[in-house]
Each structure stands twice: as C-alpha cells, then as structure tokens.
Amino acid sequence: MRPTVNDIAREAGVSLATVDRVLNERPGVRPRTVQVVTEAIARIGYVRDLAAANLARGRSYRIACLLPDTESQFLATVEQAIHDAAAAAVVSRTEVETLRFPAEDPHALVAILAGLQAQGISGVAIMAPETPHLRDAIRSLRHAGVAVVALVSDLPNTGRDHFIGIDNVTAGRTAGVLMGRFLSGNPGQIMVVAQSLLSRDALERRRGFDAVVQADFPGLEVLQTLEAHGSPDILRRAVFEMSRHAPQLRGVYVLGSGHRVIGAALADLGLARRVVVIGHEMTPHTRNALQSGTIDALVTQNTGHLARSALRVLRARIDRVPIDEGQEQIRIDIVLRENLPPMAEDPGQTPRAKPDEAA
C-alpha cells in the first residue's frame, strides 16, 4: 500500500497534527522537528495524494483564458480547442471561462485582468502582445498568487509562469528549410505574405525563414514581405503586382492568415500548384488547401495540445507541483497531405449548458 500521512506520523514519531503542519508549511514547528518529519517522508517514499488533498481543500480551479477579439480561423480553432479541453477538465473540478478582449485597446485588457483577480480566478492563460500596461497587470496578478501562462505568443518580460507555444523563429526556419528542399537548389524568387509585420510572431518567423534560406539555399531570393493589413483587396493586388516583378517565382511563404485570397490570386495568375506554397497553422481552410494541393506544407502547432497544456500547467502551478517538461513541450509540426491527421470527431463528452454560469 501507498504510505499515508499516518504512516509519516508513525515513522517520524510525531503526531498527525505535526505532520500536517510540516506538509502544509504551517508555522509553529521547530526546525529540528521539520527535519525529522521531512526525513521520514523521504524514507517511506510518501507522495501526497493530490486528488484527496484537493478534495479536502474544496479547491476548484477557476481558470480564465483571454484571447483577442480579432477574427481569424486560427483564433477560432484555439478557442474551440480551449472549449474542448475545458469540457474534458470538468471531471477534475476545473472551470474555464474564455474571454475575448478588444485587440486594439490595451486598457480594456488590463481592466479585465484586474476584474478577474476579484472574481477568485486562480489561473490565467493569455494570448496578447506584450505592452507595458499588460506587464504591470500580469505582475500584479502574480503578486496576488494567480498563476499566469502566455499562450501562443510569449510575454517574456512579464514574469509569466510559463509559455505555452512554439518558438516562431524556429518555426520560420522549419518553413525555410522545407521551401529550400522542396525547390532543391533551383534558383528563383520567394514571395512572403503577412497580415502585418507588427505582430511579433510574423516577424520572428520571417527572421527564421530568411536565416535558413540565406545560409543554405543561396539560389533563392526572398522578396520583401507583402503586408495586407487585413484587407483582401490590398492583398490580392499586392500579389499580382509583386508577381510581375518576380519572373521566376517559385515559392510563396504565408506568415499568417490570408491563404484564401492568396490561393485565388495564384490560381488567376496560372501559378496554382506550380509554385510551392508553405504556410502556418491548421485551420479548416488550410486543411482543405493542403488536401487539394494548393498548399504544399504547413508548419503548425497542435491547438489541442496547446489548450490542454495550458490547463495542465496552470493546474500544476496552482497545486505547486512540478510540470512534466516533456509533455508540455509544444512541438513544431510539419504537416503534408500525407500525414494530415484525421478530422477530429465532435469532442463534447459532457457539454455544459452555460460554460460561463459561475460568474
């Protein structure tokens, strides 16, 4: 049988109350006694039963996930993944609340964060660009004992507990080497398309991509990044315009969204399936495009893993137990048509009527 607190008490020759004080770091125990108990714990190999502990504590994990209100298929996918992970986490007394905040207004986000603290939230997963306001807000949360993880895009200077996502420079490098190898040394131009280079992710990917292409595929010329700023029209025209100046266009690298428009433009230019298209993130659209061959490869991060990892890490932090680094390492997935994972089934095993009822 697994040793229990009573076994510790017997082994250490102290009472249960003292063991409890030591285990939960309550005051009023002599250093010597603490040591005796600690040694007994080590000797008999006691491991706290977290399930029982949390049951006794009456602890329930209230977790908030904050996403920008930007409309994008990737964000929708992330939100769906969080929703699914939340549904699965109900059995382990975890309540998840997903909130969208106005992407343009840093103050709104700060206000929401301040509100959460009052609501008894014990963990926050947040996907947002790093601003000074946000830095302060996160510090304040952490100071109040709230666990905070950055999702998808890191917040390195905020003191967040953990970053759940991939290194976008490496993701860009991966896209770069795929592009180079798919074109195997044949010279030509590569078009790079982004919504905006203001986003940290896009910038980092471009950096990684450039580094690899320059170093390993000298025949390839990476053109200046096209920025669409969210407008399909601008994007479409830019693709047409640039293709005129690229007589040997051999590849297109899509840093973020915009696949739909780009695909259509390439088709109109007669380039569909004649240039190598590499993009990021799995969405319903990129999935279809990969299947139909209009996209050749995707460099992705598994959103399901992302969401589950966020919840697991937050719970671990709240419980003050170590995390399993290997499990929480988000991999950079290369997806071709051949290894496209099958479509996920409908996951809701216990759909809750009102996920946000407990306000």
Question: What is the binding site for DNA (CB under 7 A)?
Answer: 1-2, 4-6, 13-18, 20-21, 23-24, 27-30, 32-33, 46, 48-49, 52-53, 55-58
DSSP per-residue letters across 130-178: --HHHHHHHHHHHHTT-EEEEESS--GGGT-SEEES--HHHHHHHHHHH
Q: What is the distance between the alpha carbons of residues 226 and 190, in angstroms, rounded to a whole number?
A: 11
33 binds, among DNA, a copy of itself, none (CB under 5 to 8 A by kind): DNA
> Where do we find the tokens 């939340």?
86
For residue 337, give the 3-state DSSP assignment.
coil
Output the smallest distance, CB 243 to a copy of itself, in A: 21
Which one, 118 or 343, has the nearer CB to a copy of itself? 343
CB-wise, 4 or 131, nearer to a copy of itself? 4
Beta carbon nearer to DNA, 34 or 234: 34
Closest to 209 (Cα-Cα) out of 177, 180, 172, 178: 172
CA nearest 168: which of 345, 334, 332?
332
Nearer to a copy of itself among residue 68 and residue 304 (C-beta): 304
Closest distance of CB 320 from DNA, Å: 10
**Shortest distance (Å) from residue 55 CB to DNA:** 4
- Closest contact distance (angstroms) between CB of 251 and DNA is 56
Give the shortest CB-121-to-a copy of itself separation in angstroms: 16
In the complex with DNA, the residue whose CB is nearer, 34 or 334, is 34
Q: In this structure, are strands 188-194 and 249-254 parallel, antiparallel, or unpaired? A: parallel
**What CA dihedral angle connects 306, 311, 317 and 323, to 10 degrees?**
-50
Cα torsion angle, 223, 333, 311, 315, sign? negative
333 binds, among a copy of itself, DNA, none (CB under 5 to 8 A by kind): a copy of itself
Write phi, then psi, for 150 (nearest 5 degrees). -90, 135
123 binds, among a copy of itself, DNA, none (CB under 5 to 8 A by kind): none
| Residue 119 interacting partner from DNA, a copy of itself, none (CB closer than 5 to 8 Å by kind) | none
Query: Which residue, 26 or 43, has its beta carbon nearer to a copy of itself?
Result: 43
Helices 284-292 and 259-268 meet at what angle, rounded to 10? 30
| Shortest Cβ 92–DNA spacing (Å) | 12
Q: Residue 146: is it exposed, middle or buried by C-beta count within 10 angstroms (0-12/13-18/19+)?
A: buried
List interacting residues with a copy of itself (CB under 8 A). 2, 45, 47-52, 54-55, 60, 84, 88, 90-93, 170-171, 173-174, 176-178, 181-184, 186, 212, 296, 299, 302, 304, 308, 321-322, 324-327, 329, 331-339, 341-342, 344-345, 347, 349-350, 352-353
Nearer to DNA, 53 or 269 (CB): 53
How far, in whole angstroms, is CA 269 from its chain's centroid? 36
Q: Report the nearest approach of a copy of itself to the CB of residue 16 (Å).
A: 18
- The structure tokens listed for 330 are 């988000």
Residue type, 164: I
Between residues 41 and 307, which has the closer beta carbon with respect to DNA?
41
* 153 interface partner picked from a copy of itself, DNA, none, CB below 5 to 8 A per type: none
